[in-house]
Amino acid sequence: MKQQSGFSLIELMISLVLGLIILSGVIQVFVSTRATNSLNQAIAEIQEYGRYITLRIQDELREVGRYDINTTNIEDSTDLVLESSFVLRQPVAIANDYPSMATLGSTEGAGSASDGLVVNLLAEQDCTGNRFNATAPEHLHIVNHYFVENGQLKCIGYNGRYLRGFSGNPTPSAEVVLLDGVDNMQVEYGLSADVTGNDGRVVTYVDASELGNARLANQQVVAIRLALLLKSAPINLQNIANEKVRLLSEAPVTLDQQHYYQVFTVSVALRNSLNYVGSAVL
């Protein structure tokens, strides 16, 4: 009769160690795959959000400074000549432009804080879809205010006629969220030389704090450059070194390792302002 024997204690321990090594490798592959999938999903979402918001911002900013007094169906309860002059001369608003709301205007954020952008245009509705009791397809002076608050890019629309102290609906639109996951927004303004006798080319870019001096120098905003820093939902990026990014001319900022970040920049020529500068109507 043959003698039966099982694994020795040493063989059993070796088998357990080998099993643990294999299991550890499988777990590592699983964790790495899940992290990679999370990162790829975050990248795809951020790129899709960035594509959407840049296209929307471009479309809306191209209309800034527009006032077609001779060809547009305009609600005419106010002096259209004066209104046209205001919109054409001041496509980008700064503080004290509006008697009914003197603090409203484009702002330069303190330090690395987000900027605020306020623009004038002639349109059927504001950035929220509000018509301010105008009858379609009537146009009127619209003021749009873009800003970042609590990680969201938001917009509020105003009736420009009310802001300037004339008749109009005094109630602004309820703010709407244009995009979630916005960490920062920076804006720069392309200035022409003196509006008399130049072709409207950008000679310099400035921030909102310099727009008042630019007006005194008879310069016009003919382009807007806007940068958005978008961030994903929380994910684990511990294996990726902390990176720094720069938005326009701002100082670099260090990013955390709990989100995926990407910068989107758009430069928009204000065609209506270019036409105004070219005509030198003062």
pLDDT in tens, 42-73: 889 999 999 999 999 999 999 999 998 887 89
Written as one string, the DSSP assignment of 173-201 is PPPEEEEE-EEEEEEEEEEEEESTT----
Q: Are residues 220 and 192 in contact, defined by beta-carbon separation less than 8 angstroms?
A: yes
The predicted model scores a pTM of: 0.85
- Determine the Cα–Cα distance for residues 74 and 141; give it in Å rounded to an integer: 9
Q: Number of folded domains in the chain?
A: 1
Q: Report the phi/psi class of residue 181: left, alpha or beta, with left for phi > 0 and alpha for psi in -120 to 50.
A: left
Torsion, Cα of 118, 110, 57, 156 (10° steps): -50
Enter the DSSP assignment of 118.
E
Over the range 122-153, which residues count as b (16 or more CB within 10 Å of their CB) and which as e?
A: bbbbbbbebbbebeeeebbbbbbbbbbeeeeb
What does each of the 282 residues of the chain score in pLDDT, given as a tens digit? Answer: 555 565 677 767 777 777 778 877 777 765 666 666 777 888 899 999 999 999 999 999 999 999 988 878 998 888 899 999 999 999 999 999 999 999 999 999 998 899 999 999 999 999 999 998 888 889 999 999 999 999 999 999 999 999 999 876 788 889 999 999 999 999 999 999 887 766 778 999 999 999 999 999 999 999 999 999 999 988 866 656 678 899 999 999 888 888 899 999 999 999 988 888 866 544
> Does residue 137 belong to any structural domain of this protein?
yes
Please enumerate in sequence order all residues whose Cβ is within 8 A of that of 214, keeping only pairs 6 or more positions apart, or say none.
Answer: 189, 191, 206, 221
Radius of gyration of the chain (CA): 28
> Does residue 181 belong to any structural domain of this protein?
yes
Which residues form the domain of 238? Answer: 39-279
> Does residue 11 belong to any structural domain of this protein?
no
> Does residue 34 belong to any structural domain of this protein?
no
> Does residue 19 belong to any structural domain of this protein?
no
> Does residue 150 belong to any structural domain of this protein?
yes
Beta bridge partners of 264: 228
Q: In terms of Cα–Cα distance, which of 212, 188, 216 is closest to 202?
A: 188
Q: In terms of Cα–Cα distance, which of 184, 133, 146 is closest to 61?
A: 146
Is it true that the peptide bond before 172 is cis, omega within 30 degrees of 0? no
Residue with tokens 């905003």: 221
> Does residue 261 belong to any structural domain of this protein?
yes
> Does residue 3 belong to any structural domain of this protein?
no
